[in-house]
Amino acid sequence: MMQISLTVIFLVIICFVISEMNKRIVNNKYQHTLKVNALLIEITKEINEFENIEDLYQMLLESTIKLVKGAEWGSILIYNHEKNYMDFKALKGYNMDLLKDVHIMKEELFLYKINKLEKPAIIIDPMKHNRAVLNEVDLDKLNKADGLICKSCISSPLYVDGEFLGCINVDSIKSYDAFSNKDIEIIEFIVTHLEIAIKNSMLVREMKQLLITDSLTGLYNRRYYSNYSCSKYENSVPEGTIFIMIDMDKFKLINDTYGHIIGDEVLIYFSEVMKSKFRETDLKIRISGDEFLIVLFECSEKEALDMVKNMENELFNNSYKGINIKFSYGIGILKEGMSAEDVKNIADKNMYSQKASKKG
């Protein structure tokens, strides 16, 4: 009887211990889930504050590293569909200056070798794989950026609307066994929310872009200048910034003669020539019908005039469907004490003076 009682007591103790352990496991999992959810809610709140998508990627990476025990460093690579390779867009621990020009083919990713980028996986000594597939130049850059000291990582694909976007990697530089299958579950949960956050950010950016883009020409529109650029210029545009106002000559006659469909085509052609003759960093804005504004930063007046002349020559030598396109322009240069609107008005006045001289 005593032996039976001891056995029962022992079993009760075992059951109690198991119960307490399970409670602790459940509680720890619950607390971790709360922590994950709290951080994801914070990400959602901050998502609209990121004008630059790469800043968003950096925040998402750092947040993920905080949530995965054993992770110290990490990276996000985004797939360039046009060039068919991956670029580093966010890093923690590694040197971005050394890795920004490293391009990795999608097929070179170890995760691609493991499961064709279908799901997350733990990778032990990932740099052993990199040494085998990367060229010497990229491998040297990776080495200089401390990219070869990673001992283990969890790599997960990122998809938006079923389309491959890239990969997020959380790395351990201390241990080859830093991660477990439980960490895979955590990553899967986090990545699901990251994909939603990235998609929402892209949608917001697309909406914002539509609001400031001229639907016909693809240039910035007047809203961009009025609601964004003007206020920005007031505070940060340096002296010497050049404003060029452009107005097409006799555009109304083109519309009246050839119709509005051809008139729209002429505007599109005119805008494409403008894009090709000015720098990518120059702001090109369609103010209204056939009136445009170009803002040039860190540019001399001579360089600006050379670009205008190149545009004139291109249009002179290449008519559109037999239609000769000419324009008038005026230049304004921002000086101390002047607002953006002051400079625009000077450029506008000079442009109309040139247009009037052509009529005279």
Tokens linked to 86: 């991956």
| Reported confidence tier of residue 256, pLDDT bands at 50, 70, 90 | very high
Same domain, 352 and 247: yes
Rounded Cα distance between 256 and 65, Å, is: 63
- What's 237's DSSP letter? P
The CATH number given to whatever domain includes residue 186 is: 3.30.450.40
Looking at 176, 210, 244, the residue that finishes a domain is 210
Same domain, 84 and 166: yes
Q: Which tens digits make up the pLDDT trace of 3-15?
A: 445 554 544 445 5
Looking at 175, 210, 245, the residue that finishes a domain is 210
| Reported confidence tier of residue 236, pLDDT bands at 50, 70, 90 | low
Q: Is 22 contained in some domain?
A: no
The CATH number given to whatever domain includes residue 228 is: 3.30.70.270
At 168 the pLDDT is: 95
Phi, psi of 326 (to 5 degrees): -130, 165
Distance of CA 50 to the CA centre of its chain: 10
Residue 303, domain extent: 220-359
Same domain, 198 and 234: no
At 148 the pLDDT is: 64
Same domain, 143 and 246: no
Looking at 157, 179, 210, the residue that finishes a domain is 210
Considering its fold, how many domains does the chain have in total?
2
* Average pLDDT of the residues in 184-205: 85
| Reported confidence tier of residue 21, pLDDT bands at 50, 70, 90 | very low
Q: Which tens digits make up the pLDDT trace of 108-162?
A: 888 998 899 999 999 998 777 766 666 777 667 666 666 667 889 999 999 998 9
* Average pLDDT of the residues in 49-68: 84
Q: Which residue, chain included where needed, has tokens 């205008």?
A: 308
Calculate the alpha carbon distances from 149 to 69, 77, 125, 138, 209 in Å.
Answer: 18, 18, 9, 15, 41
Same domain, 140 and 61: yes
* Average pLDDT of the residues in 42-47: 63
Same domain, 200 and 53: yes
Q: Is 8 contained in some domain?
A: no
Please report which residue ranges of 212-300 form alpha helices under DSSP H. Answer: 222-223, 230-236, 251-258, 260-277
At 200 the pLDDT is: 82
Q: How much is the mean pLDDT over the chain? A: 83
At 274 the pLDDT is: 97
At 127 the pLDDT is: 76
Same domain, 78 and 151: yes
Q: What share of the chain is helix, strand, coil (3-state, %, to 5)?
A: 55, 20, 25
Q: Is 158 contained in some domain?
A: yes
- Residues contacting residue 310 through CB under 8 Å, at least 6 positions apart: 277
